[in-house]
Amino acid sequence: MKTNVCFFASPINENASNFKGHTDLLFGYIEDTFAKNHLGFELAKIGLSDDHPQTEQKVHDNIEKADLIITDLSSHDPNIYYELGYAKALKKRVIQIQNKHFDSLSFDLGHAVVLYDTTTDEGINQFKKDILKAVKSPTTDNTPLSFYAENDVEISGRIDDQGIVEN
């Protein structure tokens, strides 16, 4: 029987190091929720290591093999937005999360987010409930990226000449 994989996309660069402990805490809450509810997912995440040149490929590989991706958008890290876009282009099931005390997301991202507050036990318990609910009904959005990923695109060099190739 195939084991489903859930990839947790979170900041891993040096500039987001203030999120390191927080990211580990979130991952622990997610692990706990998955284990207690027997959700049948193998959890994966990438950490910052000495192997920097391989990190980007590891992220791509994990997104490609994952059945579900959870992205923490709290840091507004450009890499996370890239990973989210890549997952959506591949039509992956995605759960977006964000710390409710941080700046809100832009309108096109903010509508589908699990907000969390890990400063209280009540907030942590609510996060676990919300993650469980989202795992049981994650969204798969059709986006312009996923549309182009499924179709051949003819590129002529002129933006007004570009379009879908009809077979």
Which tokens belong to 106?
Answer: 């832009």
- pLDDT of the residue at 7: 95
CB 77 within 8 A of CB 23: no
The fold of the 4-141 domain, in CATH, is: Rossmann fold (3.40.50)
**pLDDT value, residue 132:** 94
The list of the chain residues with pLDDT below 70 reads 1-2, 12-20, 47-53, 102-112, 138-167
Instruction: With beta carbons less than 8 A apart as the criterion, state whether 68 and 4 touch.
Output: yes
Residue 90 DSSP label: T
What residue ranges do the domains of the chain occupy? 4-141
Phi, psi of 89 (to 5 degrees): -65, -30
Tokens found for residue 16: 């987001």
For residue range 11-24, list pLDDT tens digits in order: 765 555 455 677 88
State pTM to two decimals: 0.76
The pLDDT of residue 79 is 87
The whole-number pLDDT of residue 133 equals: 92
